[in-house]
């Protein structure tokens, strides 16, 4: 049941991070080894340029590294793209697919997101599938319906608690400093859980549902203790070890 789900706190560095950022990541790894991270799984998703070096740093630590996107194909004439197999080869354990910035900036549809999730599974990567409503959709009272539609279209058949994580990120709260109330989060996560259980049965009960959107140390406990919230997908606050570990400490 959901109560027994081990939380995951994953950091999405987006288009941030150079080789100099390895020192900050090393602090995160050292903090996790020292027990400063609480009882949760830990992951950082850096730019692809840092996947290999960060995975090497985390090799002997309770910390994994993920990617931020992948191409649907395994290989081929797709200049500038990276396959899930390439990401796996570079040390990734997971890949984010369907982030709202990919949907908005690159026009990714639910169908494309589902295909990328299947590509992740093909490479034996965990697929972190993102869903979330815009401010206009929330104001129109459509948040639950929009997220349900995205889950139906973006999560392929065959999803399990082992190969899939759902990340709910209200688009209007990403990087804005705005956050939904715990009640708002509870409503959406409850609806997501119901959708997953209806479609996947016991696997849906065990699948992790992360909350993302302006999560920081000061609000982590309030947000991460909401029912059906099984961790966080953290943006800006994951760039600094002190902030990231401060969020994971919510599970101490």
Q: How many residues does the chain have?
A: 252
CA distance 241 to 196: 33
User: Which band of pLDDT confidence, cut at 50, 70 and 90, is reported for residue 233?
Assistant: very high
Catalytic-role residue among 85, 101, 169, 195: 169
Cβ pair 151, 192 in contact under 8 A: yes
Strand 164-168 and strand 94-97: pairing? unpaired
Alpha helices in 141-216 (DSSP H): 143-154, 182-200, 202-206
CA distance 249 to 245: 6
Query: Residue 160 corresponds to which tokens in the numbers above?
Result: 């399990």
Cβ pair 197, 190 in contact under 8 A: no
What is the reported pLDDT for 174?
83
Per-residue DSSP letter, 171: G
pLDDT tens for each residue of 67-102 = 999 999 999 999 999 999 999 999 999 999 999 999
| The model's pTM | 0.96
What is the residue-averaged pLDDT of the chain? 95
For the chain, the first-to-last Cα distance in angstroms comes to 21
Cβ pair 56, 26 in contact under 8 A: no
pLDDT tens for each residue of 175-204 = 888 888 999 999 999 999 999 999 999 999
Fold observed for domain 2-71+81-251 = TIM Barrel (3.20.20)
pLDDT at 1 over 60: no
User: Which band of pLDDT confidence, cut at 50, 70 and 90, is reported for residue 34?
Assistant: confident
Query: Residue 179 corresponds to which tokens in the numbers above?
Result: 């956050």
What is the reported pLDDT for 35?
82
What is the reported pLDDT for 36?
75
CA distance 16 to 104: 19
Catalytic-role residue among 99, 101, 137, 189: 99
What is the reported pLDDT for 177?
81
Q: What is the mean pLDDT of residues 147-161?
A: 98
CA distance 212 to 49: 24
| Contacts (Cβ under 8 Å, ≥6 apart) of 55 | 65, 90, 91, 92
What is the reported pLDDT for 37?
80
169 in active site: yes
């Amino acid at each position: 049941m959901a109560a027994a789900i081990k939380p995951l706190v994953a950091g999405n560095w987006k288009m941030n991070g150079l080789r100099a950022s390895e020192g900050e990541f090393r602090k995160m790894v050292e903090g996790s080894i020292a027990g400063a991270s609480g009882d949760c799984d830990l992951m950082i998703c850096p730019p692809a340029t840092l996947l290999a070096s960060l995975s090497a740093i985390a090799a002997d630590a309770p910390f994994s590294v993920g990617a931020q996107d992948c191409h649907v194909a395994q290989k081929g004439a797709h200049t500038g793209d990276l396959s899930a197999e390439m990401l796996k080869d570079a040390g990734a354990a997971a890949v984010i697919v369907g982030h709202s910035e990919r949907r908005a900036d690159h026009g990714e549809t639910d169908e494309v997101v589902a295909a990328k999730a299947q590509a992740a599974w093909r490479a034996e990567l965990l697929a972190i599938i993102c869903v979330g409503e815009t401010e206009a959709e929330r104001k129109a009272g459509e948040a639950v319906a929009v997220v349900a539609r995205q889950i139906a279209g973006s999560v392929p058949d065959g999803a399990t608690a082992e190969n899939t994580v759902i990340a709910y990120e209200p688009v209007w709260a990403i990087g804005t400093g705005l956050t939904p109330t715990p009640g708002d989060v509870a409503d959406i996560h409850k609806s997501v859980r119901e959708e997953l259980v209806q479609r996947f049965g016991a696997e849906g009960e065990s699948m992790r549902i992360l909350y993302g959107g302006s999560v920081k140390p000061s609000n982590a406990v309030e947000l991460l203790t909401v029912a059906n919230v099984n961790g966080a997908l953290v943006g800006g606050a994951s760039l600094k070890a002190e902030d990231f570990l401060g969020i994971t400490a919510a599970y101490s």
